[in-house]
Amino acid sequence: MPSVGRSLPRREDRPLLQGRGRFVDDIDFDGTLHARFVRSSVAHALLLGVDSEEARAVTGVVTVVDAAELALPPLLPPIDNPDALPVPRPLLATGKIRFAGEAVAVVVADSPYVAEDAAELVAIDLEALPAVTTTAQALRDDAPRVHDQPTNVMYDKRFSTGDELPRGPVVIHRTFSSSRQTALPMEPRGLLARPHGDGLEIWASTQSPHMLALAVAAGLGLAEDQVRVMVPDVGGGFGLKAHAYPEELVVAALARRLGRPVKWVEDRAENLTSSCHARGQTIDVTVSADADGVLTSIDADVVVDMGAYGVYAHGHLLEAGGTPSMIPGPYRLRDYRFRSRAVATTKVPLGAYRGVGLPVATFVHERAMDLVAAETGVDRAEVRRRNLLRADELPYTSVTGQRYDSGDYGAALDTALREIRYSAFAEEQAEALRAGRLLGLGFAVYVEYSAVGSSVFAGRGMLGLAGYDEANVVLGPDGIVRVWTTLPSAGQGITTTFAQLTADELSVDVELVEVRPVDTAVGRLRGNGTFASRSAVSGGGAIRVSCEELRRRLLEDAADVLEASPADLEIVSDAVRVRGAGTSSVRLVDLAAAAAPDRYDVVRRHDPEHPVYPYGAHACRVEVDPVSGFVRILDYVVVEDCGRIINPRIALGQTHGAVAQGIAGALYEELSYDEHGQLQTASLMDYLVPTASEVPPVQVEHMHVPTSASLVGAKGVGESGTLAPGAALANAVADALGAECNSTPLHPTVISDLARARLARTAEGVR
């Protein structure tokens, strides 16, 4: 029986639920030392010196290392892009401190507690400089420079389809903004490095183990094969663990120098103040349309608060590159101009978070659609229908060069509207208003790119990202098919879904397939790692081509045994048999036992030629409490096309989780800084993560328009759910309030004021 398409229970769940998960912090060796980073409490300063004498004297402290003693080169993301300045990031602050939370020194001790206490005794001698805490401030001529450059603009890209954009007759100019948020994996970052021969063995909580291995090798001056990275259970990544960080290189260097295993596990305060942030953007947009609401042009000025540095290996182009490329969204648009800047501030570096720049792009085009509707008087669903690319227009190359492969955007919208009961809503809303209740309905259509391949990364100038992935599929003498890939499981269930894919590609029982944790020493694999919704497409593709070769070898060898032509053979559950001939077969385990050692050990690569473009529509109904400003989500509907679904239950879980993170960004989460560059939300007492009571049940409807851009038919499902909630909720709240909501998160105080004004207008009989 085919395994793909079935909701098999996640193989990951039983051990995790029984407490048998094995995370970095659960791994221990005799003599393991513990690292604790000494971090700057000041955002911007000249670093004059580090005094570690008192810390060194503490019993149990092995060493304290600062930048001078570490003496290693900075992390410099390999970016080759004419619009970007280089932004090197010291492993430990050197000469200057650029954000509160930046690592200045590291204490190594025989227990984590001693290390933590001793770290507080390290004195940092500094001369404070004025902080740069907003992009508006950073862009001023007299702003302090974060880097040794004449400007704080570290990336500045301009794009235009022509000198004069067609304008009007309807012209809407607005500023949209998204606050900073963070991915907040339940397990923070961490790694354990152990000297091994001339090199290192590393256990890391990472999404990109092969990239990490290369970064550590390069940073420490080792050969590639001297660094082995293994990935145990990972408690979530959501983009934050897609990067190699200074701490990881420092811990690796310490293990080598001290000749002992060294472990570092981030605590929550560090996670909030020194792992990456995301989504801090301000976008000035001028949208033009004709009187019927048909778009004529978009002009966007995107300003991204990149913080103090970029992330490795993506650099500082992530959001500034991604957002403007997708502001046209699923709409027909030929006249487009943008300027996109990544601006350095003295804040935590911006990195990846589920959807990267695309939730902001969706917010822009979907708020704009509602505003065009309001301005022209055309119904907001109808405005979208007039602009959405029709199914028969795809494949379609967008004005920014995105090749939308396949889909039916209009059908996604119409399904969402039907499920949310859009046509009956106006009456329902009016009746509620008469009773003093504020109901609103909002929706958003989106398209995203997933499974970015090497040519796209190269085109962006991101030279440190592989873009391809590899699989190693091995039939062992025990008859078990083992699979290694370059894509670690970070909670998204690929230990299960990759087994399902492998089973079907080989036509073997899924019980015979085992997906192994990532280990860079196995099969000498190279690859990208798991981010950008790529695992099913890129990893799935690598599994498919590996299985094709393994199947070819199995049939060839079975043909000898069975004295038949390979063309007449098929694999069925655990044996190769002659098609239709009943009894003539040979078991896989017998083939494996007789074969030469490497015969059934296959490594193949898949490099997606084009990204794939999942899409969908979200719709929701909300009620706003005028007193508290609380937004209660009454109904939430997702219609999405993630392609062929490998495991429906897992796809549903991905969508639920992504929508929850989208709701968080729309209504709750905000990393806010004061004017000194101090993060005011540096604990989970202050950073407002929604709980189960704020996240409603989510209805999910799937569509499936096939694509040729994915070998296994999957389009990617990891991120898409985060794209539309911000826009759909802002549109719903705006609808409830009769006022505009152009920044996220929507603050309860603002909502409450607008809600009371709305009710007052109603009482006066004004609409």
Interface residues toward ligand SMO, by CB under 6 A: 207, 237-239, 242, 352-354, 356, 531-532, 719
If the CB atoms of residues 422 and 615 are measured against ligand SMO, the closer one turns out to be: 615
- Least CB distance to ligand SMO at residue 191 (A): 18
If the CB atoms of residues 369 and 490 are measured against ligand SMO, the closer one turns out to be: 490
Using CA of residue 426, residue 427, residue 428, residue 431, what is the dihedral sign?
A: positive
If the CB atoms of residues 353 and 409 are measured against ligand SMO, the closer one turns out to be: 353
Q: Please state, in angstroms and as integers, the Cα–Cα distance from residue 120 to each residue in 69, 86, 125, 264, 607, following that order.
A: 19, 33, 14, 16, 47
- Least CB distance to ligand SMO at residue 651 (A): 17
Name residue, tokens 């001290």: 258
Q: Which of 141, 148, 100 is nearest to 124 (CA)?
A: 100
By beta carbon distance, the residue nearest ligand SMO is 239
- Least CB distance to ligand SMO at residue 237 (A): 6
**Nearest-angstrom CA–CA distance, 50 and 69:** 11
If the CB atoms of residues 352 and 714 are measured against ligand SMO, the closer one turns out to be: 352
- Least CB distance to ligand SMO at residue 576 (A): 39
Please provide the distance, in angstroms rounded to a whole number, between the alpha carbons at the two ends of the chain. 60
Burial degree of 676 (CB within 10 A; 0-12, 13-18, 19+): middle
Tokens read off for 136: 């508006």
If the CB atoms of residues 102 and 719 are measured against ligand SMO, the closer one turns out to be: 719
Q: Checking DSSP bridges between strand 438-447 and strand 199-204, what pairing results, if any?
A: unpaired
DSSP 91-103: SS-BSEE-STT-E
- Least CB distance to ligand SMO at residue 332 (A): 27
**Nearest-angstrom CA–CA distance, 614 and 616:** 7
**Nearest-angstrom CA–CA distance, 444 and 377:** 18
- Least CB distance to ligand SMO at residue 665 (A): 13
Name residue, tokens 């291995």: 213
3-state secondary structure of 381: helix
Q: Please state, in angstroms and as integers, the Cα–Cα distance from residue 582 to each residue in 65, 507, 569, 578, 586, following that order.
A: 71, 17, 12, 7, 12
Tokens read off for 521: 């020493």
Name residue, tokens 């708020």: 367
**Nearest-angstrom CA–CA distance, 251 and 63:** 12
- Least CB distance to ligand SMO at residue 179 (A): 17
Burial degree of 51 (CB within 10 A; 0-12, 13-18, 19+): middle
3-state secondary structure of 282: strand
Query: Can you list the alpha helix ranges (DSSP code H) found in 179-328?
Result: 209-220, 246-258, 268-274, 318-326
- Least CB distance to ligand SMO at residue 531 (A): 3
- Least CB distance to ligand SMO at residue 354 (A): 5
- Least CB distance to ligand SMO at residue 504 (A): 26
If the CB atoms of residues 112 and 608 are measured against ligand SMO, the closer one turns out to be: 608
If the CB atoms of residues 279 and 384 are measured against ligand SMO, the closer one turns out to be: 279
Q: Which of 375, 363, 370, 406 is nearest to 387 (CA)?
A: 370
**Nearest-angstrom CA–CA distance, 671 and 278:** 9
- Least CB distance to ligand SMO at residue 450 (A): 9
Q: Which of 205, 261, 265 is nearest to 236 (CA)?
A: 205
